[in-house]
Amino acid sequence: MKKSIARISTLALAGMLAAAIAGLSCGYGRADDNDVDDDGLIEISNLEQLNAVRWDLDGNGVVDDPADADAHGAAFPARGPGMGCPDSGCLGYELARSLDFDNGASYASGEVSAEWTSGAGWLPIGGSGDPFAGVFDGGGNTIANLFMDRPDRSHAGNNAGLFGGASGEVRKVGVVDVQVKAGNDVGGLVGFNFGAISESYMTGNVSGFRDSGGLAGINHGAISRSYAEGEVSGKANVGGGLVAVNYGSISDSYFKGKASVGTARVAGGLAALNFGEISGSYAEGEISGSDLVGGLVGLNQGPISGSYANGVVSGQGDDIGGLAGVNYDQISDSYSAAKVSGRHRIGGLIGINRSSGAIGASYATGEVSGDIGAGGLAGWNDGTISASYSTGNILGIDNSGGLVGRNNGVISASYAAGDVSANHRVGGLVGNNDKSGTISASYSTGPVSGNDDSGGLVGENQGLISASYATGDVSGERDSGGLVGENLKDRGVGTISASYAKGRVAGKFGAGGLVGWNNGAIRASYATGRVSGERDVGGLVGENENADSISANYWDTETSGQASAVGYGPSSGSEGKTTAELQSPAGYSGIYGSWNQDGDFWDFGGSGQYPALKVDFDGDGTATSQEFGSQ
């Protein structure tokens, strides 16, 4: 299993991004001493010239409004009409050197301008309706100490950043030590991006009322090989470390720092809301908010691949996840190592995976704590989870599981290895497998402890479980089972087939080697763990209320310490066998003669072995027992 999942090395990805962005500090691509370089880019050598870009938003060297000609000409006095551009016009602007708003040497006058360093500060270049449409090439230079204080959500306070809006290309520039406070659609570099941002970065603090992002507020374009480091905060709606809302693409980019929205929704380490595509990117730091909080993305409705999150993710409400708070799309080859906490639907990778969501070849390793619906990978799952796993420890109250807290979807070829501790409906893999939930070819190995409905694999099962197993020890007060705490047909399907449990079970009332309390169906399954309790204790089932739907099941009378299959209720369909009898395989014959009725799931190995499950866990087209965990 571990070999089949493409792990993403934090150091490797960070190194790749560092190499890709290294040019930002190397000064490559600088212009020569002419005002216009060979690529048709007008040189910017001081902050007055940077400010003058607002009067030439298409970057062709011709002032957009004749009324602004004098102001633009004052910033570029050495050139007349056309700025020395070729007949086809210039393409945009480029920095000839690094600039600093707090340093008089960056001004043509030689003195720092209080207009840009105090009061409302910098007025963004362009906006969402009139964006900068040319090329802005930083040449590897930086613009330091950008200051804005425009929080009133007026026209000047929206679409805020160095550029209010950009539809052209912004590249190879860093805005460092920024202090930006504005209204809506706020970013350190660009407020509203329609174009391409590449090899650029931001360091500092960005805050806004709504839609605040470290690099950009709203992204409808493409962001690549770029990053933000610092602190991003929002008062309402959304805040993201790199961008607030992504409708376009983000690739090979990252955020490091703190992103928060206080008591508001939605927060994400890389993007608060993702409606586009994210690949090869990551976020590290402290991410906090109310609902829909994710280490990488708060709410996800686009594909995410090859990405990860690390740090601390916390929410005061619902749908909190190490990678994403809510997922509606496909997440693949991604992981989270974040510590995650919240109230409802809390997951090491995903808070809630909706019915359209698919998680594949992904994993989570961080600790998870929450009230209702805490899971090592997903708090709640209504979609599909395959070839994925979790190893973090789980602390919850109700519906808590090593992989998923509550499952209404499909889980296959996945596993959990963390310790799980909760009060009600607690399982090594799933806390509550609801009536529409299906679990197949999956397993859990961690210990489970709880009060009611504690199971090595599933706490409460109302759905289907097949070709799965649990090896962790289980302890609880009532209805404790090596595989399932409570198996319920009256609330759903409640069916267990071709599965087994090997862990020890210790419970006071209703303790069974396979199931604690049952009124569902159990077929072709077995249990070998030692079982102990005060009342209603059985080698296979603690308390059974179904006399008709149990068949071809076994428990080891020697290793379990139990002579009876069922502690209370009918025991037909269950037989006690010695270790030697269970470990004398002869294929699908003898006591196992009917075990292939539902499919060829079993490998009977050799003498001295219990039957093992055959599963195509690595997806190579061949099912084996060796690849299915450590059976």
Query: Using one digit for the tens of pLDDT, what is the confidence trace for 333-376?
Result: 999 999 999 999 999 999 999 999 999 999 999 999 999 999 99
**pLDDT tens by residue, 155-186:** 666 889 999 999 999 999 999 999 999 988 99
Half-sphere exposure of 300 (CA within 13 A, CB side): 39
Secondary structure class of 34 (helix, strand, coil) = coil
**pLDDT tens by residue, 270-305:** 999 999 999 999 999 999 999 999 999 999 999 999
Beta bridge partners of 132: 166
One-letter identity of residue 630: S
Report the alpha-carbon distance of residue 160 to residue 293 in Å, rounded: 24
**pLDDT tens by residue, 542-553:** 999 987 778 999
12-35 average pLDDT score:
39
Q: How distant is the alpha carbon of residue 24 from its chain centre?
A: 29
Report the alpha-carbon distance of residue 271 to residue 213 in Å, rounded: 8
> What is the pTM assigned to this prediction?
0.92
pLDDT higher than 80, residue 330? yes
- How deeply is 34 buried, as exposed, middle or buried, from its count of CB atoms within 10 A (0-12, 13-18, 19+)? exposed
Name the one residue in this structure whose structure tokens are 């206080």.
Answer: 262
CB atoms within 10 A of CB 596: 14
pLDDT at 25: 33
One-letter identity of residue 39: D
Report the alpha-carbon distance of residue 497 to residue 393 in Å, rounded: 28
Mean model confidence pLDDT for the chain: 91
Secondary structure class of 555 (helix, strand, coil) = strand
| E-strand stretches of 541-606 | 541-544, 550-551, 553-556, 566-568, 574-577, 602-603
89-117 average pLDDT score:
96
